[in-house]
Amino acid sequence: MRFIHLADVHLGAVPDRGCPWSDKRENEIWETFRRVIAGIRENPVDLLFIAGDLFHRQPLPYELKEVNDLFSGIPETRVYLMAGERDYLKENSFYRTFTWAPNVTFFPEEKVTCVKDTQFGVYVYGMSYEHSQIRQPLYDGVRPVKNDGVHILIAHGGDESHCPLNIAALAGAGFDYIALGHFHTPQNVIRDVAAYSGALEPIESNDLGAHGYIEGRIENGKVKTRFVPFSIRTYSQLLLNVNEESTQLSIEEALKDEIFKKGGLNIYRVILQGKRKPELFLIPEKLKSFGNITEVLDETRPAYDLEELQKKYAGTLIGDYICFFMEKNRKTRCCPWFLKPCPPSWLPCSPGMRRFSCPAATFSTRFARTVSSKGLTK
């Protein structure tokens, strides 16, 4: 017996709204879901579990009809579906009055119930959200019925605002498999026993890495699962190392090369790291034009020769400040103005103190005035 477990499809979501590729993403989420169903049609599975948040919001009648038409196209597959916190059962939810295809079982209330699939000898347990938040651990105390067969729980949640879960206790209660939804990153919580399938397509920029669904096989009462990557795109963090030889052009070329290697469809958060020439003026925003880039963070630092600067400014406040940063292995306290260490003999700044009581803050002001008066700013 074979099954597919998926969750958090979020049909109707528009990720990265305002970005040039966001409209495509809305369609891609639907397309990926259709591809899953098309795959089942070509290579049928016995059971399909959808562990909440099929929709990103309250579904409209035509959307429910489109999904139901897809399900009716795989009549040999039993579909088990619950509503999560995004598409929860409002009082006037269209979920409540919709008539599903004969092969679909929808859990209609905020109470765990059990459905027996006589064809396969499987007991499926589930419920739907009737509120956007559920702080009570509604799955606690749920136990399989004392009948022979395979017992599968579909559950959505796992944080304090969305059905807190004691997964180990549920697994110990005797469930053969727990199909989880809510967290968008795939997680094998207990190998072959409990897993979050993750979002079918990544929905938010923090949904890093591969996304898809879980495929399972049940033989002689034992469950074996594997994760199947299936999304069109992934979110990735892309680290670019900068050095003293780097220029804006070389950084742009390096970025283009990395995106070519990792995939032009994917969506990136670019982080620049390393030490650059002090006179190099980077334009991070310009890098966004070379791919699907949501954010560019410049974490580079100027590669100053502190010893040379200390000699040059010896006997001045600037020189003293440089000496301070060159000292090592020293017990220090953090100065909240600079997020740099202050020597123990100096009182750290606090909101109730004058800024100029801190030498670091004093240096900040005087150095800015010095640079300005010498015409060193552009």
How many residues can be counted in the chain?
Answer: 378
H/E stretch holding 79 reads strand 78-82
| pLDDT in the model for residue 278 | 83
Residue 378 lies in a domain: no
Helix (H) or strand (E) segment spanning residue 33: helix 22-42
| 108 shares a domain with 37 | yes
Task: Decide which of 185, 208, 229 is a domain's last residue.
Answer: 229
Please give the single-letter amino acid code of residue 320. D
CA distances from 40 to 3, 4, 45, 47, 259 (A): 10, 9, 6, 10, 33
* N-terminal to C-terminal alpha carbon distance within the chain: 71
Those residues of the chain that have pLDDT short of 50 are: 328-378
Considering the domain architecture, whether residues 281 and 324 belong to the same structural domain is answered as no
Q: What is the pLDDT of residue 360?
A: 47
* Gap between the Cα atoms of 73 and 40, Å rounded: 9
Domain ends where: 177, 203, 229?
229
d(Cα 224, Cα 216) in Å, to the nearest integer?
6
DSSP structural state of residue 263: -
Element (H, E) at 251: helix 248-262
pLDDT at residue number 327: 67
Range of the domain at 312: 306-373
Q: Give the span between the Cα atoms of 309 and 326, in whole angstroms.
A: 11
Tell me the backbone φ, ψ of residue 58, rounded to 5 degrees.
-65, 125
Count of Cβ atoms closer than 10 Å to residue 377 Cβ? 8
Give the pLDDT score at 14: 95
Closest of 156, 167, 155, 220 to residue 191, by C-alpha: 167
In a domain, 365, yes or no: yes
Count of domains in the chain?
Answer: 3
